[in-house]
Structure 1
Amino acid sequence: MLIVPESAIADLMTADESFTAVEAVFAAMSRGDAYNFPVIREAIGHADALYGFKSGFDRAGLNLGLKSGGYWPGNEARGLTNHQSTVFLFDADTGQCRAVVGGNLLTALRTAAASAVSIAHLARPDAKVLGMIGAGHQSVFQMRAAVRQRSFEKVVGWNYHPEMLSRLADCAAELGLPFEAASLEELGAQSDVIISITSSQAPSLMDAHVAPGTHIACMGTDTKGKQEVEAAILARATVFTDEVAQSITIGEAQHAVGQGLIAETDVNEIGAVINGTHPGRTSDEEITLFDGTGVGLQDLAVASAVVERAVAAGVAIEVAF
């Protein structure tokens, strides 16, 4: 069995490789070559933590396994990342555990890669302004991945706690882009692409804020009750997701479907666009929305890729098991 510790991930996995792995697994899901197992996610009644499992099997890549982990809100005070996770990979032929991989950075990279895939396939080619809603730990990964997909000239940002916007400003400066703090109304009016990455229980971005032609990536809603955007936006947009079953139950579409604004059949797989079986965006005026719920197959894809790189670099730790 191989071990790739969290400390080794940063030197092994890049944003481009994460993009490639996630794009491929979305395509495999839409072809029926890969599928996710039901998600388990529970409050454990200790440390205010949420803990769960995401798992699946990709027959095309022979990736079988699970990600175990969750959210511990008190970790930041301890100098730790609030999100903690580990990926376990199993041999698809024998069922033996073949690798244990640190999942914290990989989770950030695969989440950012998912929104980047949606931008690559759904945003207008001439998109120039990137809007960021949320300034938490994940936001900088989102921004760095997004700017690789379009020739953005400016970043505008909003956060519930404005004092945290310096994180976005610093990241934009690192990328050579001007940054502007904006109200949600201003952000919606200016942005060609909007990434929302919050853990909100109530919508921030409203239907009236969104201009025609915008692409929106909702990346924070992964649990029942969470909501980042007004449900009416989904009724006006063409909606895409990583997995339809998750989108309508724990993702952003849960609210629009629950209110009868859209049907399950109105939610499309992003993999169908990648495979060419769905046209994706069909006009410059169309609003497109990607509901990134986060699927276990994403974790398995990036973890498998990092194991290959770790073996090639001679940094994977082999243990008898």
Structure 2
Amino acid sequence: MPNDAQLMLLNRDAVEPALQGEQVLAAVREAFILHSQRAGRVFPVVREKLHTGGVFGIKSGDIATQELLGFKAAGFWPGNRAKGGEPHQATVALFDPSTGRPLCIMDGNAITTARTGAAGGLGLQHLARPDSTKICLFGTGVQAKVQLQYALRMLQERCTVEYVNVSGEPDPVFEAAFKERCSISVARNRDDAVAKSDVVITATPGGGPLFDAASVQPGTHLTCVGADTTGKRELPDGVLQRARIFVDDQVQARNIGECQWAPELPCTEIGDVLAGKATVGRSKADVTVFDMTGLALQDLTVARFLYRNALEKATGIVVAWPW
């Protein structure tokens, strides 16, 4: 058996600088299209609550034509905030599908953030009204920040943003990150903010409905990030019933996404839109929802270019990993 096998390790400091926006968008788009074509497989998701109060999950899959196999072990540990750490934790691993040997283990936090932001941006680009200029954002954490970054990148006009946070008070640090790109302020009334918006982005832990259903006006697009586990939700009853629903994966959305609360409703996978198999054809009065639960293929296509980049530039930590 070979004794000279090696394993590459990519920590946060190696991963974060390599996550360039255009490459992430291209990788996520490819993942959605591969999923639409069923050229990439998504294996059943593991998502379990722990005795510690955390949630642990595994998303895995493969792309046979690209010799790509791997998984992401990730979850949410709310107690990390008290320790000065990020509640979301993730690790990605790539394997040689011919031998089962690990090729690379990398920090998955930045990957999850970037690929989810890119997915939300792609959905918004294809589903929101092109003339959208008013955004209501729920959350000010890592995922809320990246969703807003991609939203501002995708929308054509300068936007006005109202954000909803826990305190209801202005967050100068959060505002400073965006004040050069948009007009931004804290929302004094969340329902009023939703009613005035063209785009609503929900990026919270998914603890319950965030606003009244009646506040969603015709023509609104909603990007929903926080429902990724059984029992989680951000939308109130009645919104999905009025909307044209788009998802990253129908099975996942109905099991752990917003669609778990209305699994009988029809929905369209965003990959079918990107692959040209489905059309949006939105009218100005349509309410659209993008229910995002996250695909393993997104993690794999992003991890692949990071691994290749590290091999080319010799930026990873290589350790002996004999058989």
Please point out which of 178, 186, 196 is paired with 1:181.
186
Paired residue for 1:80?
85
Worse-matched range after superposition: 158-167 or 54-63 = 158-167
- Within 2, Cα distance between the matches of 1:116 and 1:295? 15
Paired residue for 2:3?
none
Is residue 9–residue 316 contact of structure 2 (8 Å, CA) maintained in 1? yes
Please point out which of 50, 55, 60 is paired with 1:44.
50
1:76 is displaced (CA, Å) by: 2.1
- Within 1, Cα distance between the matches of 2:96 and 2:258? 34
Matched, 1:253 2:248: no
Matched, 1:205 2:211: yes
1:69 is displaced (CA, Å) by: 2.5
1:164 is displaced (CA, Å) by: 6.7
- Within 2, Cα distance between the matches of 1:84 and 1:297? 18
Matched, 1:295 2:295: yes
Which structure's CA Rg is the greater one? 2
Q: Which blocks of at least 5 consecutive residues in structure 1 are unaligned?
A: none
Paired residue for 1:31?
37
- Name the aligned partner's letter for residue 132 of structure 1: L
TM-score between both structures, scaled by the size of structure 2: 0.92
- Name the aligned partner's letter for residue 252 of structure 2: Q
Paired residue for 1:55?
60
**What secondary structure does 2:182 align onto?**
coil
1:21 is displaced (CA, Å) by: 0.9
Q: How many residues align?
A: 313
- Within 1, Cα distance between the matches of 2:267 and 2:171? 32
Q: 1:7 to 1:40 in 2, by over 3 A?
A: same
Paired residue for 1:219?
225
- Within 2, Cα distance between the matches of 1:289 and 1:164? 28
Q: 1:165 to 1:2 in 2, by over 3 A?
A: same
1:104-119 → structure 2 map (5 Å cutoff): 104-119=109-124
- Within 1, Cα distance between the matches of 2:307 and 2:95? 12
- Within 2, Cα distance between the matches of 1:204 and 1:281? 28
- Name the aligned partner's letter for residue 64 of structure 2: R
1:58 is displaced (CA, Å) by: 2.2
Q: 1:81 to 1:166 in 2, by over 3 A?
A: same
Is residue 170–residue 186 contact of structure 2 (8 Å, CA) maintained in 1? no
- Within 2, Cα distance between the matches of 1:165 and 1:57? 41
1:178 is displaced (CA, Å) by: 1.0
1:60 is displaced (CA, Å) by: 4.7
- Name the aligned partner's letter for residue 126 of structure 1: D
> Runs ≥4 in structure 1, deviation > 3 angstroms?
59-62, 163-168
Is residue 169–residue 186 contact of structure 2 (8 Å, CA) maintained in 1? no
- Within 2, Cα distance between the matches of 1:61 and 1:139? 32
Q: Deviations over 1:100-139 (max 9, x none)?
A: 1110111111111111110111111111112211122221
Q: Deviations over 1:146-197 (max 9, x none)?
A: 1110124211111233247445422321x42111222222222221111100
Q: Which blocks of at least 5 consecutive residues in structure 2 are unaligned?
A: 1-6
Is residue 281–residue 288 contact of structure 1 (8 Å, CA) maintained in 2? no
Is residue 65–residue 300 contact of structure 1 (8 Å, CA) maintained in 2? yes
Give the % identical residues: 35
Is residue 164–residue 190 contact of structure 2 (8 Å, CA) maintained in 1? yes
Paired residue for 1:195?
201
1:253-272 → structure 2 map (5 Å cutoff): 253-257=259-263, 262-263=264-265, 266-272=266-272
Paired residue for 1:240?
246
- Within 2, Cα distance between the matches of 1:146 and 1:120? 8
- Within 1, Cα distance between the matches of 2:99 and 2:313? 26
- Name the aligned partner's letter for residue 297 of structure 2: L
1:292 is displaced (CA, Å) by: 0.4
Matched, 1:121 2:126: yes
- Within 1, Cα distance between the matches of 2:320 and 2:169? 49
Please point out which of 151, 157, 160 is paired with 2:163.
157
Q: Deviations over 1:50-107 (max 9, x none)?
A: 1121111123543211011222222222222111111000123332211111101111
Paired residue for 1:170?
176
- Name the aligned partner's letter for residue 92 of structure 1: P
Matched, 1:141 2:146: yes
The CA RMSD over aligned residues, in Å, is 1.7
